[in-house]
């Protein structure tokens, strides 16, 4: 059931007060398939990242800077996927595609905050691995609890400021219709197309910020790993090399996954619009990292595997005790 655009007359000019998000299909079977698929994706991301958070929080051996950053990465992934997927599932069930203007601006703000925070945090994590491998004797002093907390706080504050800047620029634009967003969530590039004004400056600001910050953070990560790998190759024992690689490779995989999915999404030709060029890249960008990150870290990190094993064993033991008590 599609709703007509809700508008109000302001100064002889209609102002859009809500947007209509994209529905995936009008066929009932395809709608149910979409809902079940998104539900499974959402649950996988939630369960994977929550298990990772619990493992880090409950295991004293994981109370180190690396796992502190990893826990924050899980928080970002849970938050980011919660911005887009639940609303899309709601549209499938209720057939109400509308989202208020303020709700759309909120989605844009959060959709900018969490990816930017993830990029900054991945840079911080690369710096952490650089200090741990290149300066192991000074690691505890350099990566103190206070410094780690300051880095994470700066990550969040910087990401919020970045998102506020771009969201405010969109918020101040006039929107007089049409109001159909060609995306399953309020993506900034798609909403800009609906503005009743010249958005060239907005687009250039987004592109310039993306290129500048992308180059700064990506070059920092690349330089960190160049030093890391050169140091690892100098380690005489094969066991030492393997241990060093095992702590770095998961982070490097996550960074590459995030980088390539982001580039695929935001550096496509804006003049060409289709499911493959617009919707699919955004879909992959918003769900791949939240699902893949806990899997990558769990598969490549033995400490995480041990912590998860202890967590699962505690859960099974608690169930057995409670079932025994009930039997008595």
The sign of the torsion formed by the CA atoms of 308, 313, 318, 320 equals positive
Question: For residue range 88-126, what is the model confidence (pLDDT) as tens digits?
Answer: 999 988 889 999 999 999 999 999 999 999 999 999 999
* Cα–Cα distance measured from residue 285 to residue 324, given in angstroms and rounded to the nearest whole number: 46
Could you give the 3-state DSSP secondary structure of residue 19? Answer: strand
**By the 8 A CB rule, do 165 and 116 touch?**
no
Percent of the chain with pLDDT over 70: 85
Give the pLDDT mean for 71-75: 94
Residue 180 DSSP code: B
For residue 13, what is the enclosing H or E element?
Answer: strand 13-16
Which residue in the block uniquely carries the two structure tokens 């620029």? 169
β-pair partners for 19 = 99
pLDDT of residue 125: 93
The sign of the torsion formed by the CA atoms of 50, 56, 60, 63 equals negative
Give CA angle at 129 (123, 131), nearest 5°: 105
pLDDT over threshold 90, residue 269: no
φ/ψ (deg, to 5) at 302: -70, -35
φ/ψ (deg, to 5) at 292: -75, -35
* Cα–Cα distance measured from residue 193 to residue 181, given in angstroms and rounded to the nearest whole number: 9
Is 13 part of a structural domain of the chain?
no
CA R_g for the chain:
23
pLDDT over threshold 60, residue 173: yes
Is 84 part of a structural domain of the chain?
yes
Give the pLDDT mean for 300-327: 65
pLDDT over threshold 50, residue 33: yes
Task: Give the DSSP per-residue string, 89-125.
Answer: HHHHHH---EEEHHHHHHHHHHHHHHHHHHHHHHHHH
Which CATH number fits the domain that encloses residue 52?
1.20.1070.10
Work out the pLDDT band at 258, boundaries 50, 70, 90: confident
Is 3 part of a structural domain of the chain?
no
Give CA angle at 63 (61, 66), nearest 5°: 105
Question: For residue range 122-140, what is the model confidence (pLDDT) as tens digits?
Answer: 999 999 999 999 999 999 9
Is 94 part of a structural domain of the chain?
yes
Is 107 part of a structural domain of the chain?
yes
Residue 61 DSSP code: G
Structural domain range at position 88 = 19-327
pLDDT over threshold 80, residue 204: yes
Q: How many domains does one find in the chain?
A: 1
Is 99 part of a structural domain of the chain?
yes
β-pair partners for 16 = 7
Is 6 part of a structural domain of the chain?
no
Is 9 part of a structural domain of the chain?
no
């Amino acid at each position: 059931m599609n709703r007509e655009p809700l508008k109000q007359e302001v100064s002889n000019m209609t102002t859009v007060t809500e947007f209509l998000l994209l529905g995936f299909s009008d066929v009932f079977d395809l709608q149910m398939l979409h809902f079940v698929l998104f539900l499974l994706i959402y649950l996988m991301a939630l369960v994977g990242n929550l298990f990772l958070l619990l493992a880090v929080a409950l295991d004293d051996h994981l109370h180190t800077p690396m796992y502190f950053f990893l826990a924050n990465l899980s928080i970002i992934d849970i938050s980011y996927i919660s911005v887009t997927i639940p609303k899309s599932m709601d549209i499938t069930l209720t057939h109400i595609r509308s989202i208020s203007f303020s709700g759309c601006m909120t989605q844009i703000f959060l959709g900018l905050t969490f990816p930017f925070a993830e990029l900054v945090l991945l840079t911080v994590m690369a710096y952490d691995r650089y200090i741990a491998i290149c300066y192991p004797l000074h690691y505890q002093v350099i990566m103190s609890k206070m410094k780690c907390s300051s880095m994470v706080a700066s990550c969040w504050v910087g990401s919020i400021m970045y998102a506020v800047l771009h969201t405010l620029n969109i918020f101040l634009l006039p929107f007089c219709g049409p109001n159909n967003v060609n995306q399953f969530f309020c993506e900034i590039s798609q909403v800009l197309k609906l503005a009743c004004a010249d958005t060239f400056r907005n687009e250039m600001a987004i592109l310039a910020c993306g290129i500048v910050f992308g180059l700064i953070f990506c070059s920092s990560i690349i330089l960190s790993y160049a030093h890391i790998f050169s140091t690892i190759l100098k380690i005489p024992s094969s066991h030492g090399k393997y241990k060093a690689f095992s702590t770095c490779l998961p982070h490097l995989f996550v960074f590459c996954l995030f980088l390539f999915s982001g580039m695929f999404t935001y550096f496509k030709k804006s003049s060409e619009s289709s499911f493959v060029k617009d919707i699919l890249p955004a879909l992959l960008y918003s769900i791949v990292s939240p699902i893949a990150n806990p899997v990558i870290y769990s598969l490549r990190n033995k400490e995480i595997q041990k912590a998860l094993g202890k967590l699962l064993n505690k859960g099974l033991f608690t169930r057995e005790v409670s079932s025994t008590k009930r039997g008595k």
